[in-house]
Amino acid sequence: MKSRAAGFTLIEIVVALALAGLVSLILLQGVRFTATAYDRLARHADRLDDRFSLETLLRHALATAVSLPAIGREAGFTGQPERLSFVTVADDGAAGLFRVELTVAGTPPGGQLILTRRLAVAFADPQLQQSVLARNLRALRLAYFGTVNPADTPEWHDRWEGVAYPPQLVRIILDTAGDDAQPPIVIRLWSAG
């Protein structure tokens, strides 16, 4: 009888290499899937962080709004569906009253949400400061809750113009490209009473 020599045959080595290649391919696909999922999660976390920062900034700005009937020719608080303007007390060490405006620059999609801050009194240097709060804006919708006439029941309004006092609440619906629908931001104005 013939005895078999110790070792592997060529066919056994080819099968082992093919299996090793298949296992390596499966592991590589798993690593790629994990990296893609991590990247998607990181982008989502960044968008949530941006949204939280924007909401915090808007809450802080509107919380410092003061109830004034008018300064010069501008009303103390004016609200339109895509624009908001109000007077605030500076809390960053500067003295005086400031006019803050929230507007959209550019045309959707791709517009920008701009926050402008300047001195409320026109005779002084305006010290204009502008900040871009959001990019790739598809839509901005503002609404105002309160009573236009003191005898009425409070309700939501698309505009808040010609009223001597600010609304009780401001609702901001912000829609940016690439984001899922977000709940509206509702901010209470403490100066409204």
Q: Where are the domains of the chain?
A: 54-192
pLDDT on residue 176: 78
pLDDT on residue 132: 87
Backbone φ and ψ for 4, nearest 5 degrees, come out as: -85, 135
Q: What is the pLDDT along the chain (193 residues), one digit of tens a residue?
A: 566 667 788 899 999 999 999 999 999 999 999 999 999 999 888 888 888 888 898 888 888 888 776 666 677 888 999 999 988 876 565 667 888 899 888 776 678 888 888 887 766 566 778 888 888 888 889 999 998 887 889 999 999 988 888 899 999 988 877 667 788 999 998 776 5
pLDDT on residue 27: 94
Cα distances from 5 to residues 8, 9, 94, 101, in angstroms, run: 9, 10, 92, 88
pLDDT on residue 118: 84
Cα distances from 41 to residues 34, 50, 183, in angstroms, run: 10, 14, 20
pLDDT on residue 43: 85
pLDDT on residue 57: 87
pLDDT on residue 67: 76
Q: Kindly report the CA angle at 64 between 172 and 94, in degrees rounded to 5?
A: 130
pLDDT on residue 5: 67
